[in-house]
Amino acid sequence: PLASIKMSEEGASSGDETSDYSGLEDTDDGSDSEASENDLSKDSEAQDSFDNSDVEEFREYDSDNSQSSSNNLKLKNGKTSDLQSHKVAGIKEKSGGLKSRVGLQKNLQKSLLQEEEAKEEVYAEDSSDEEDIRNTVGNIPMKWYDDYEHIGYNLDGYKLLKPVKPDELDKFLNKMENPDFWRTVVDKLTGQNVILSDSDLKLINNIQKGRIPDGEYDMYQPWIDFFTYEVEQMPITSHPPHKRSFIPSLHEKEKVSRMVHAIKMGQMKVGGSKDLKKKEPQFYLLWKDNETAEEMRRIHNHLPAPKQSLPGHAESYNPPPEYLFTDEEQQRWKALAETPWKRKLPFIPQSFSSLRAVPVYENFVRERYERCLDLYICPRKRKMRLTIEAEDLVPKLPKPKDLQPFPTTLSLTYEGHVDLVRTISLDPSGQFMASGSDDGCVKIWEVSTGRCLRTVDLEGVVKSVAWCPNTAISLIAAVADHRCYLINPQVGDKLINNSTDLVLKDAVPSQDYDVPEKIRAIIEWQKADDLAWQKGIRLVLKHFKPLGQVTWHSKGDYFATVVPGGLNRSVLIHQLTKQHSQLPFTRIKGLVQKVLFHPIRPYLFVATQQHVRVYNLVKQELTKKLVTGAKWISSLAIHPAGDNVIVGTYDKRLQWFDLDLSTNPYQVLRHHRQAIRSVAFHKRYPLFASGSDDGSVIVCHGMVYSDLLQNPLIVPVKILKAHKVIEDLGVFDCAFHPHQPWVFSSGADNTIRLYT
C-alpha cells in the first residue's frame, strides 16, 4: 500500500508534464490561450466580432483539471474514479475545439497585421505637410496665436490650450537633471516637447555634414546594364523592317548629283588634284597683352577723332513746322554767305511729302571733304572733363526744423505812429522798446502787451534811436535833425530812473583839457530846459549838420554819432561821464553810412559806400579794409563774438565777412528782391535777419564755431512777410529781442511788428 501511495504521489506530482489529463497538450494550449489573450487585448477594436467565451470556458476546465489532479494526490488507493475519467475525456474534446478556434484567431491577427503593413508601405512615400492631425490650423505661422490662450483646434472643433510654460528655474532644473534635454525640441504646432529619436539625430547630423540624409541609401549600387555587348538571342523589339530601308535614298541621290556638278565645274577637287599644303608650325604669344602693347607702341598719346553730331529734327525730310525757316530767317541766313560759320544750320530745312521726293544733297561731297580735312589737318587736344553731378555742387544743409528756435509767426502789431517808422531799439532787459518815426516822435512801448507807455516829441524826423546797454542807468539816445537827445524814458525801475536823473543833473563837463576850437565849431553840449526836462530830455548835443545815426559802446559810457555830410568830420565819439567829444579821424575816404563799436575789442567799424574799414582806437591805425564790391552799403551788424560781420547793400545783397578768414565776403546771399535797409544779429542765439524794401524779413541761421578750421554755417530758415509796401518802401529797421528768439521790424506802413 505504501508503494502504491508513493507511485500515485509521483504520478500526481508529474501530472503537469506526463499525466494523461494534463501533460499531453494542455500546457501548450494554455500558453497559446495566454498569447491569444494578449493579442486580443491589443487588437480588440479590430476583432470585436471574435467570441471570447471559449477562452473563459477553457479557463474553467483548466481550473477543474488542476483541482482533479490535486484530488488524485489525496487518493490512497491510486485509482481514478469514472467521473474523473469522464471529465478528462470532456476536457480533451473541448481543448481540441478550442485549439482550432485559437488557430483561427491567429490567422485573423496575421491577416490584419499584413493589411496594416501594406497600408504603411502605400503611405510610406506620402509627403503630406500636415502629419500631425491633432491641430487643424493648417500650414500657417504659429506666431498668429501668440496673443491667444489656445494654439489651435482639434478635429472636433475644440480649442487646444497652450501647455504651461515653465519658468527659468524649471528650465534650469530640466537642463541639469533631464538626460534627454539636449535632444528635446518644441513642436510649434502643438507646443509640446518632442524628444528626437536616434534616427532623427542621424538625419540631422547627415544634413549638417553635407551627406545624404537617408543613411541607408547606397549611392554606389551595382550598375545593371540592360543593353550589353553580349549578343542576345532574342531581339529587344521585334518590329519588322520598314520598306524605306530597302529603297535608295532620294536625299543622298540629290547630294551626289550636287557633288558631281561641283566636280565638273571645278569647284571641288578630288584625289591627287588637291593641293596638299604643308602645315607649318604656328607660333603665337602666350600673353595677348604683349601683342596689343606692340601695336600701341607705334602711336604715342593717341587722340581719337571727335565724333560727328547726330542729325536732328531739322534734317528730317518732313520736319515739324517750327523747324522751317520764315522769310526773315531765310534772308538772315543768306546774308551770312561770307561768314557761313556764324549760321546756326549749314542748310535750309525743307519739307517733302515723301522720302522718294527728296533730291540729292548738294553739299554732301563738300561736307565729306571738309570732314577729311578736319581729320588729318586739324590738331587735336585732350580735354579733361570733370564728371560732377549737380547734387554735389549744392551744399548739404540741415533742415530748418532741426535749427529751431527761430521766429516764424506774427504775434503783435504796434500801432501809434502816423508816419513811417525808421528805427527801433530795445532795452537790455527786453521789456521795453523805443521807436523813432518821421512824425517827429519817440515812443516807448511795452513789448509784451503792445501798449505805448510814453511819447516824446523831438520836433524833427527821428533818424535813429539807441538804448544804452548799461543796465545801471535808463537812457535813450535819439537823433533828430541837427541834435542828439539823451532821454530818460522813465519806465521800469524807479530807482534806476532817479539815479539816472541825478547822474545827468549833477554832471559837470570835465576841466582836464581845453576843448579845441574845431570841436566847439561842430558840437555843443546843452542841458535841457524845464519844458524839455518834463518830456524826459536830459541832455542835447547840437551838431553843425544833420545827423544820420547814433550807436552805443558795449559798456554804455561812449556813444558815436554820424554826420553824413560832414566829410572828414562825419564821425564823432562822445563820452557821457565827462561830457566831451572828439574827432577820431582827420581824413575819411568816402561818405560814411554807418559806424559800430566792436563788442569786445577797442575797434571801430566805419562803413562807407563801398568799403568797411576797421580802426584800432588805441593804436589809432587802420587794421582791416573789407572789400564788399557793392555799389552802396546800407547797414552793418557785428556778431557778438566780434569775428564776423554782415553787410546789407542797396543792390539786394547781404554779405557775410569772416574777419579771421579774408577781407572778401565769405558768402553772399541774394534772397531779397529789393534793396536791403537793415541787418541785425541776435546776442544769444545763432540767428541774423535782414529787412528789405520788398516788405519781407528773412531770418537765417548763422552758427559760428569755436574751431577756427570750421567755417560758419549759414542756412536761411524763414521769410516773414507782414509789412505793406508803400511807394516802393518796405522794412526800414529790424532788431532781435535780447533774450528770446523774437525779431521786431518797423516799416513804411507806420507799424512795428513782432514775430515769435
pLDDT digits (tens, 9 = 90+) for 162-202: 888 889 999 999 999 999 999 999 888 888 899 999 999 99
Residue type (1 letter), 360: V
The answer, yes or no, to whether residue 54 has pLDDT greater than 50, is no
C-alpha distances in Å from residue 70, one per residue of 15, 26, 38, 64, 338? 10, 16, 29, 10, 152
Average of per-residue pLDDT across 102-112: 60
Query: pLDDT tens digits for 171-181?
Result: 999 999 999 99
Give the phi and the psi of residue 314 in degrees, each rounded to 5. -65, -25
| Measured distance CA(464)–CA(450) in Å, rounded | 21
- Number of Cβ atoms within 10 Å of the Cβ of 739: 15
Residue type (1 letter), 528: A
Please list, in sequence order, all residues whose beta carbon lies within 8 angstroms of the beta carbon of residue 665, skipping any fewer than 6 positions away. Answer: 628, 629, 647, 655, 656, 657
Average of per-residue pLDDT across 95-107: 53
Query: pLDDT tens digits for 436-468?
Result: 999 999 999 999 999 999 999 998 899 999 999
Q: 82-122 vs 26-42: helix axis angle to the nearest 10?
A: 40
172 three-class SS: helix
| Measured distance CA(14)–CA(12) in Å, rounded | 5
Residue 74 is classified by DSSP as H
C-alpha distances in Å from residue 158, one per residue of 108, 145, 150, 373? 37, 15, 10, 95
Please give the pLDDT value at position 240. Answer: 84
* Contact yes or no for 643/657 (Cβ under 8 A): no
Give the phi and the psi of residue 10 in degrees, each rounded to 5. -65, -40
* Contact yes or no for 74/8 (Cβ under 8 A): no
pLDDT bucket at 303, cuts 50 / 70 / 90: confident
| Measured distance CA(478)–CA(577) in Å, rounded | 18
The answer, yes or no, to whether residue 107 has pLDDT greater than 80, is no
Average of per-residue pLDDT across 226-250: 79
Please give the pLDDT value at position 13. Answer: 40
Average of per-residue pLDDT across 112-133: 51
Average of per-residue pLDDT across 324-329: 94
Query: Which cell numbers in the block locate residue 213?
Result: 540624409
Please give the pLDDT value at position 234. Answer: 74
The secondary structure element, H or E, covering residue 499 is: helix 494-505
Residue type (1 letter), 402: D
The secondary structure element, H or E, covering residue 472 is: none
| Measured distance CA(646)–CA(688) in Å, rounded | 9
Domains with residue ranges and CATH for the chain: 2-109 (no CATH), 142-208 (no CATH), 405-755 (2.130.10.10)
- Whole-structure pTM value: 0.53
| Measured distance CA(227)–CA(59) in Å, rounded | 66
The answer, yes or no, to whether residue 220 has pLDDT greater than 60, is yes
Sign of CA dihedral 91, 96, 101, 103: positive
Average of per-residue pLDDT across 18-42: 39
| Measured distance CA(503)–CA(200) in Å, rounded | 103
* Contact yes or no for 332/344 (Cβ under 8 A): no
User: Could you please report the per-residue DSSP string of 653-700?
Assistant: -EEEEETTT-SS-SEEE---SS-EEEEEE-SSSSEEEEEETTSEEEEE
Please give the pLDDT value at position 588. Answer: 86
Please list, in sequence order, all residues whose beta carbon lies within 8 angstroms of the beta carbon of residue 617, skipping any fewer than 6 positions away. Answer: 584, 602, 603, 604
Residue 640: burial class (beta carbons within 10 Å; 0-12, 13-18, 19+): middle
Please list, in sequence order, all residues whose beta carbon lies within 8 angstroms of the beta carbon of residue 756, skipping any fewer than 6 positions away. Answer: 407, 408, 409, 411, 740, 741, 742
Residue 744: burial class (beta carbons within 10 Å; 0-12, 13-18, 19+): buried
Lowest mean pLDDT among 97-106, 286-295, 561-570: 97-106
Residue 466 is classified by DSSP as E
Average of per-residue pLDDT across 141-158: 89
| Measured distance CA(455)–CA(414) in Å, rounded | 14
147 three-class SS: coil
> Percentage of the chain with pLDDT > 90?
51
Please give the pLDDT value at position 41. Answer: 42
The answer, yes or no, to whether residue 131 has pLDDT greater than 70, is no
Q: Which position has the grid cell 545827468?
A: 504
Lowest mean pLDDT among 7-21, 563-577, 599-613: 7-21
- Whether the bond into 405 is cis, omega within 30 of 0: yes
Sign of CA dihedral 536, 542, 547, 552: negative
Query: pLDDT tens digits for 657-678?
Result: 999 888 999 999 999 999 999 9
* Contact yes or no for 573/595 (Cβ under 8 A): no
What is the 3-class SS of 208-245, one letter each residue? HCCCCCCCCCCCCCCCCCCCCCCCCCCCCCCCCCCHHH
Query: pLDDT tens digits for 61-72?
Result: 444 444 444 444
Q: Which position has the grid cell 571641288?
A: 268
Query: Which cell numbers in the block locate residue 561?
Result: 554819432
Beta bridge partners of 575: 558, 580
| Measured distance CA(245)–CA(256) in Å, rounded | 19
Mean pLDDT, rounded, of the chain: 81
In 416-475 the beta strands, taken as DSSP E runs, fall at 421-426, 432-437, 441-446, 452-457, 462-467
pLDDT bucket at 288, cuts 50 / 70 / 90: low
| Size of the chain, expressed as the number of residues it contains | 756
Please give the pLDDT value at position 2. Answer: 38
Output the CA angle 166-168-172, nearest 5 degrees.
100
Please give the pLDDT value at position 101. Answer: 55
Please give the pLDDT value at position 511. Answer: 56
Q: Which position has the grid cell 494542455?
A: 26
Report the candidate in 67, 58, 64 with the shortest Cα–Cα distance to residue 32: 58
Q: Is pLDDT larger for residue 104 or for residue 413?
A: 413
Beta bridge partners of 551: 560
Q: Is pLDDT larger for residue 618 or for residue 106?
A: 618
C-alpha distances in Å from residue 112, one per residue of 15, 41, 54, 115? 38, 14, 22, 5
Query: Which cell numbers in the block locate residue 406?
Result: 527761430
Average of per-residue pLDDT across 518-525: 88
The secondary structure element, H or E, covering residue 282 is: none
